A = this chain, B = another copy of it.
Amino acid sequence: MITVDLGSRSYPIQIRAGALDDYDFYRQHIPGKQILVITNETVAPLYLERVLAAAGDDRKVSSVVLPDGEQFKTLADLEAIFETALREGHNRTTTFLALGGGVVGDMAGFAAASYQRGVSFLQIPTTLLAQVDSSVGGKTGVNHPLGKNMIGAFHQPRAVLIDTDVLQTLPAREYAAGLAEVIKYGLICDRDFYHWLQHNREALIDKEPNALKLAIERSCEAKARVVAADEREAGVRAILNLGHTFAHAIESAKGYGRWLHGEAVAAGMVLAVRLSIRRGMLADDCLPVLLSWLEGVGLPTEPPKDIPTNLWLELMGRDKKVLDGRLRLVLLREIGEAFVTSDVESSDLAEFLGEFAA
């Protein structure tokens, strides 16, 4: 059991095969007599009944099935959650359960933060990306046509329940997208893990249970450490966004949902590594090692060629890390050591990005 150490808001992350049916876990972490399971139309047929059976117990149970996709992660789409919660009489003691990927977790978490000014929630992530990243750390929210995750709240779950078995049904493309966030932890803060990942690529591609569990644990430990040090991203937490400023621009330029988030992050991390090398901070030979791993698991290693440089800069300029007009980027000093910098001039960035245009 991993703990995210946040004082009175600390919470456990339980990771194991078959955890979805863990009656005791639900009994321990659901405080009241009402639950609202929030899921989507892809996950509901696979797992909703099992969760309702295990978590429902003697509680009043409701569920909301959202449409599946990043394009439905909007303020307007939250309405379905509030509507069900109110119509079915959920009060301040209710607990929302997020059963799904990152979109479901972000929406359910923000709904929990806002419903009657805040109710409890549990994360039950069903994609690799959500398991190793978005379900841990309390960032919740929805997208705006003018920027990703621009409306939201910091609202920590009471617990995170990760069933490694559910990854067996995850489509290959989504699984690969999750691996992008896994290797990110190696790059930013865990050099040994990065090497382990190099040696265990095939085991991960084959979803070998022990390798999977270790990769998820190590990722969650890294995330828990960084979040505990800086819950609201006043400083070090920003390193979790390696590649993300580029990724958000890619997602925004191509339309949410066309590139999976993890795919955009993979391409974004390559850009961050290239830029780190170009600025003389990182050894040249880091690049082929990373490229080979990403290609091996089926992830893109280049951004789309049709984003004009001025659009890149405009979209990156909307990033939440921008402070007083200065873009802040996460770069690498070496493998396992990321840092945040405002030292990259727009003109340099424009020249760098221009090299990737068709």
Contact = CB atoms under 8 A, between A and B. Distances in A.
Contacts of A342: none
A318 interface: yes
B153 A117 contact: yes
Interface stretch (A124-132, A140-148, A257-265, A271-279): A140-148
Contacts of A83: 144, 146
B146 A320 contact: no
B146 A87 contact: yes
Contact of A153 (B91, B118, B323): B118
Nearest to A113: B153
Interface in A290-313: none
Contacts of A76: 75-76
Nearest to A92: B320
Contacts of A117: 139, 141, 149, 152-154, 232, 320
A86 B116 contact: no
Interface residues of A, number: 39
A86 B146 contact: yes
A91 B323 contact: yes
A114 interface: yes
A116 B154 CA distance: 10
Interface in A89-136: 89, 91-93, 110, 113-118
Contacts of A115: 150-151
A72 interface: no
Contacts of A32: 324
A258 B188 CA distance: 57
A138 to B, nearest CB: 9
Contacts of A110: 114
Contacts of A324: 32-33, 91, 93
Interface in A55-97: 75-76, 78-79, 82-83, 86-87, 89, 91-93
A281 interface: no
A150 B87 CA distance: 12
Contacts of A89: 317-318
A117 B141 CA distance: 8
A147 B93 contact: no
A322 interface: yes
For A86, A113, A117, the residue with the greatest tally of chain B CB atoms inside 10 Å of its CB is A117
B141 A86 contact: no
10 contacts: A75-B76, A86-B144, A86-B150, A89-B317, A110-B114, A113-B153, A114-B153, A115-B150, A117-B139, A117-B154
